[in-house]
Amino acid sequence: MRTTLKIVLPLIISVAVISLLFAGYQVRTERRILRNDLSRRAEILGESLQESVEPLLDHGREKNLQRLVDRFGQREHLQGVAVYDTGGNALALTPGLAPVFKSRPATATHAAEKDSGYGQFLKVEGQPMHIYALPLHNNAKPAGVLALYHDTTYIDVQLSHTLRDALLTALIQTLLITALAMVLVRWTFTNPLTRTAKWLRTLRTGQSHAPPTLPEGEIFDQLHHEVTHLARDLNAARASAEKEARLRDTNASQWTSERLRVSLRNKLKGQPLFVVSNREPYMHVLNENRSVSVIVPASGLVTALEPVLLACDGTWIAHGAGSADRQTVDSHDRLRVPPDRPSYNLRRVWLTAEEEKGYYQGFANEGLWPLCHIAHTRPVFRPDDWLYYQQANRHFANAVLDEMEGTESPILLAQDYHFALLPRMVKEARPDARVAIFWHIPWPNAEVFGICPWQRELIDGLLGADLIGFHTQTHCNNFLSTVDRAVEALTEWDRFAVNRQGRVTRVRPYPISVAFPEQTRTINDSRNAGEERAALCAELGIEASLLGVGVDRVDYTKGIIERFRGIERFLELNPAYQRRFTFVQIGAPSRTDIERYRQFLDEVSAEADRINARFQNGQTGRWRPIVFLRKHHSHEEIDRYYRAASVCLVTSLHDGMNLVAKEFIAARDDERGVLILSTFAGAALELGDALLINPYDVQQLAEAIHRAVDMPEEQQASRMHHMRMHVREHNIYRWAANLLSDLTEIRIDTPDRAEVS
């Protein structure tokens, strides 16, 4: 019934709206007819009276004039008649007319001035009326005005009856059409689909039955064809899976760095993998004492890609932004990383301060970032920033081509919204290369992306790739819709590909993940959650028996202020948790050269201070509701908070994936703790055992925190176990294997490079 209603509801609404519009049209037409009829009758009556009144305007014949007015004032709907002299005074007036008509009305004045008949509908002292006035003459000279006053109340009464009848007719028609439509939909559409769904359910459970009989017709013929093939493929896949399950041992089913290395060796056939991103995995900076130290930038992208490069000896091309980066590279701007176990090459690209400001801070992060995240911050697009974005993409493309020199059929994996133009630049120079780009942030719908003045150029650059990856199928759908709207290309929705100028680009979802740790704890990491919490509280100088944790770059898309307000509401509704629950927000300052980010950092700090002041209320003690740590933390430091926390809050207002959710799950080898996760993060599609919330709903967030801290350990363990199983099976190695496997299987038909050059 619910499905039938969903199908029929638009029809019901359409019929109702059309019926209402028609009822309104009927009433409007009826009003026009009635008014025109009254105006015409008033005009005829006025002309008839005019012939009788004008001879009586001579002095001394006022009594005859009054008798004439009295006699004509008894007609249907005619409320009265009045005769006025040229000065506007009443010469004769029907008894019962309102006192206001003893003086000539504006309608009569208008008729006298124009020397022609004039009628008007209006309200006098709250009563609807129609006044028709005619000029009077005596010996061809103006002698006064004749006015007829009609009561139009009957028109309103008749219109109300017309409206009532029209609405009743509309209601009956809507009910009859609705009933008929529901019967037809259930008979011809819903019931056959229900039978098909039941049949597919039996196939999914391993039972085998003949496919259901479907009505004839183009749609159902296609559906029958597809479900029959689906059943055949499902049976074949089940047989293959059963065979594989019998042949492999349990350890071989999980993707690991070693398994990825073997897989890539077979897929790449000895060719190196090239990765390009704006953020570098290791940054060298000068300390105050002029010594050089290495830091790992806070970035989900770095977290995701580092294991892939460790698994295969490739080259990572990135922007060298560290103050000591130039001091640590060789003459070709390269160095081997990681510092403690060199496993791949890092090639640094240099940008001028103007290029970095225009390309990175301007176009990428003041334009594309808010545009794609739809997080209520207005995107800014400046022509100068666009020029720098093009220049920066060209710099990186040149570096990529330089690194590829001498490599036959190279494979490139470009990263994120910073390099929308790069795929085509590389592909035009190296048509033999296999090029993929993974877009780590959301892709909005076509209408939103159309805000960008250079959307056609961005899409054309992306379509230079052989493969474009997004986190979710929704983002893939949005991208293809944008292509349909913005450029001339053949969009093949059935296989999710775009054919533009003879070049095919595939579009696929690849939900990114993290490297799942397996028995990597050191002796110092062997403390349980309670011991780790006590150690962290001592280091922070606070007292708390329950810890919550949030780990984010300080970015307006992460919902940090909404998170704080949810915590405030939780403590307000549950005073028993005051002086017990403390939330630690690890916030790495980000993009502080952009004014909006500097403002937001101050807003977050001010909100934390306000909430702390409210609940501490001047009391001494070491408890604080919120501890805001405004600095970068290493993965090892963050891991301690993950393992100590009773609850982890990921409240993104809009996110491509958000790997914090998966990092928290991967860290909880004790299978304890609760994840509260925004439904607007891509991770929510995979982690159904988290407490899913709308981050804009403060009350819902407060209730989720209360539910999390009160959740029995058995339920925590069950939920965390399911999520850990998913993250373990769908880890970063599997993500890389799926993406690169699809990329390497793409056939590249190119002319001889010598001919191209």
Last residue of a domain, one of 157, 188, 218: 157
Q: Which residue blocks in 590-634 are alpha helix, DSSP H?
A: 595-616
Please tell me the predicted confidence (pLDDT) of residue 210. Answer: 59
Rounded Cα gap, residues 44 and 405, in angstroms: 99
Q: In the beta sheet, which residues pair with residue 147?
A: 82, 133
User: Reduced to 3 states, what is the DSSP secondary structure of residue 433?
Assistant: coil
Q: Quick check: 423 and 462 in contact, CB under 8 A? A: yes
Sites in the chain below the pLDDT cut of 50: 236-237, 239-247, 249-251, 520, 522-524, 751-757
Distance between alpha carbon 395 and the CA centroid of its chain, in Å? 33
Q: Quick check: 679 and 693 in contact, CB under 8 A? A: yes
Rounded Cα gap, residues 233 and 329, in angstroms: 53
Same domain, 571 and 671: yes
Catalogue the long-range contacts made by 111-116 (C-beta closer than 8 Å, 24 or more residues apart).
111/135, 111/145, 112/86, 112/142, 112/145, 115/142
Sign of the torsion formed by the C-alpha atoms of 661, 663, 667 and 671: positive
- Domain assignment present for 583: yes
DSSP string, 67-125: HHHHHHTTSTTEEEEEEE-TTSBEEEE-TTS-GGGGB--HHHHHHHHHTS-EEEEEEET
Find the distance separating the first CA and the last CA of the chain, reported in whole Å: 65
Please tell me the predicted confidence (pLDDT) of residue 218. Answer: 52
- Domain assignment present for 229: no
Q: Quick check: 368 and 359 in contact, CB under 8 A? A: no
* Location of structure tokens 């009956």: 172
Q: What does pTM read for this prediction? A: 0.65
Please tell me the predicted confidence (pLDDT) of residue 250. Answer: 44
Angle, CA 456 vertex, CA 451 and CA 462 arms, to 5°: 110
Please tell me the predicted confidence (pLDDT) of residue 384. Answer: 96
- Domain assignment present for 652: yes
Rounded Cα gap, residues 14 and 3, in angstroms: 18
CB atoms within 10 A of CB 204: 11
Which backbone phi and psi does 747 adopt, to 5 degrees? -85, 130
DSSP string, 379-429: ----HHHHHHHHHHHHHHHHHHHHHHTT-SS-EEEEESGGGSSHHHHHHHH
Rounded Cα gap, residues 302 and 282, in angstroms: 9
Last residue of a domain, one of 465, 480, 509: 509
Q: Quick check: 735 and 511 in contact, CB under 8 A? A: yes
Same domain, 498 and 597: no
Residue 526 is given by DSSP the state -
Helices and strands, number each (H, E), in the chain? 24, 23
Same domain, 345 and 434: yes
Question: What is the CATH classification number for the domain harbouring 711?
Answer: 3.40.50.2000
Q: Quick check: 359 and 366 in contact, CB under 8 A? A: no
Q: Quick check: 371 and 345 in contact, CB under 8 A? A: no
- Domain assignment present for 651: yes
Last residue of a domain, one of 124, 157, 190: 157
Rounded Cα gap, residues 18 and 469, in angstroms: 45
Please tell me the predicted confidence (pLDDT) of residue 429. Answer: 95
Q: Quick check: 665 and 720 in contact, CB under 8 A? A: yes
Pairing of strands 334-337, 344-349: antiparallel
Q: Which residue blocks in 405-559 are alpha helix, DSSP H?
A: 422-429, 446-449, 455-462, 473-486, 529-540
Same domain, 535 and 504: no
- Domain assignment present for 705: yes
Rounded Cα gap, residues 451 and 486, in angstroms: 11
Same domain, 495 and 587: no
- Structural domain total, the chain: 3
Please tell me the predicted confidence (pLDDT) of residue 179. Answer: 82
Residues 70-90 pLDDT 10s: 777 667 778 888 888 888 888
Question: What is the CATH classification number for the domain harbouring 115?
Answer: 3.30.450.20
Residue type, 274: F
For the chain, how long is the longest CA-to-CA vector?
Answer: 127
Same domain, 533 and 492: no
Please tell me the predicted confidence (pLDDT) of residue 249. Answer: 41
Same domain, 313 and 418: yes
DSSP H or E run through 147: strand 141-151
Please tell me the predicted confidence (pLDDT) of residue 144. Answer: 87
Q: How far is CA 75 from CA 84, 131, 156, 503, in A?
A: 20, 15, 19, 85
- Domain assignment present for 639: yes
* Distant-in-sequence, close-in-space partners of 501: CB < 8 Å, separation ≥ 6: 489
- Domain assignment present for 204: no
Same domain, 479 and 573: no
CB contact burial 429-440 (16+ within 10 A = b; e otherwise):
bbebbbbbbbbb
Residue 381's region, left for phi above 0, alpha for psi from -120 to 50, else beta, is beta
Same domain, 606 and 534: yes
Please tell me the predicted confidence (pLDDT) of residue 70. Answer: 79
**Residue of 296, 715, 716, 670 lying closest to 517 (CA atoms):** 670
Counting beta carbons within 10 angstroms of the beta carbon of residue 173, is it exposed (0 to 12), middle (13 to 18) or buried (19 or more)?
A: middle
Rounded Cα gap, residues 397 and 496, in angstroms: 27
Pairing of strands 434-438, 467-470: parallel
Rounded Cα gap, residues 447 and 363, in angstroms: 19
Same domain, 35 and 132: yes
Same domain, 454 and 561: no
Same domain, 41 and 153: yes
Q: Say if residue 517 is preceded by a cis peptide, omega within 30 of 0.
A: no
Domain with 635 in it: 529-730
- Domain assignment present for 206: no
